[in-house]
Amino acid sequence: MAIKQVIKGWQADIQPEGRGGKRVRRTFKTKREAENFETQQRAKANSGEWSPPIKENRRLQFLIDEWYSLHGYTLKDGAKRKGKLDGICKRLGNPLARNFSGEDFLRYRKKRLSEKQERRNKLVSPNTLNHEQAYLSAVFGTLIKLRNWKLPNPLQGIPKVKLDELDLIYLELDQIKALLKSLEQSTNPDVLLISRVCLSTGARWGEAEALRAEQIRQGKVHFTRTKNSKARAVPIHAQLEADLRKGRPRSGRLFNDYSHQAFRRAVARAGITLPDGQLTHVLRHTFASHYVMNDGNILKLKDILGHQTLAMTVRYAKLSPKHLADAVTKNPLAALECQQSVNAEGTIQGYIRPDMPITP
């Protein structure tokens, strides 16, 4: 009994506890995986911690379906995530879940990074692969918590693709002015007001577009049913509140949900170029960026945006006028220039000429 090659790969045929002990057979894709399995089982047997491997014959698609029926359906994006997981499983070949390993995913990731996205003439991005890894890992992690899966999470400890931090994209004041002028020309009756709500409150486009009259009260917009389920209330100018009420229903939705394309056309008319995925979201970034540039408090900004953690908000801190401002005066060139400007009396801004006598 040892490791041998079979039709489906490499089979580890071992008795970890020695002759007379329970016999275990397990087939793997590679010889190295079979050897690792044998080593792990014998090590556990030597330490007295060995128990027969759990008989687990479910395939990955079955686990995904289990995850969705037990937990995934409760998520706001549950159905969408389920669709993505189904696609991942199909591309992986729906393996036996017990045989699926972190190495399998890394090979899948390498191949996937060279593929083009469906319906787009672009390569799959590293960020997309990081999301796929998170979704798949969550399936195993959730089922482990529910005691539905008794083996380890194969993706635990697998590092994600490291991404370069992207520059913050926001609109300058002249761009905002041009955009508002372009929005005024739109035949869509809602797009200008929705945009003003986003620029005034930092709301996501979907949050502003779905506003109901009942959410506008006491000089604030009360956002509920948000992306992260966290409710928040943001003060608005009296004029914006009046415009939100003028000619609008007193209850129910304030806007229709067909303004996205009207906004796209307005951006094009204004001559503004935005990166992919930053169309309407640039309004939220613009609010946050100008809030910080106007010396707004980063902790208050966290609450305004409804971020769950401060780490999500801190990226705007670099735009603060005081952020790292002393780099201007505390660099070596600044010190040299200051020394060169020493006046005839020998002192300026606290500097003393080396050849000047010091008098009490």
Cα separation, 32 vs 7, whole angstroms: 16
CA distances to 12, 17, 151, 161 from 278, in Å: 51, 59, 40, 22
Q: What is the DSSP code string of 159-204?
A: PPPP-PPPPPP---HHHHHHHHHHHHT-S-SSHHHHHHHHHHH---
Whether the Cβ atoms of residue 213 and residue 252 lie closer than 8 Å to each other? yes
Cα separation, 156 vs 262, whole angstroms: 44
Residue written as token pair 């020394």 = 339
Cα separation, 288 vs 209, whole angstroms: 19
- Give me the active site residues, please: 204, 227, 281, 284, 307, 316
Residue written as token pair 């960020």 = 127
In single-letter form, the type of residue at position 119 comes to R
3-state secondary structure of 262: helix
Nearest to 98 by CA among 35, 41, 140: 140
Whether the Cβ atoms of residue 305 and residue 315 lie closer than 8 Å to each other? no
Count CB neighbours of 232 within 10 A. 19
In single-letter form, the type of residue at position 73 comes to Y
Of the CA atoms within 13 Å of residue 247, those in its CB half-sphere come to 5
In single-letter form, the type of residue at position 301 comes to L
Cβ partners under 8 Å of residue 278, min gap 6:
169, 285
Residue written as token pair 């050897």 = 35
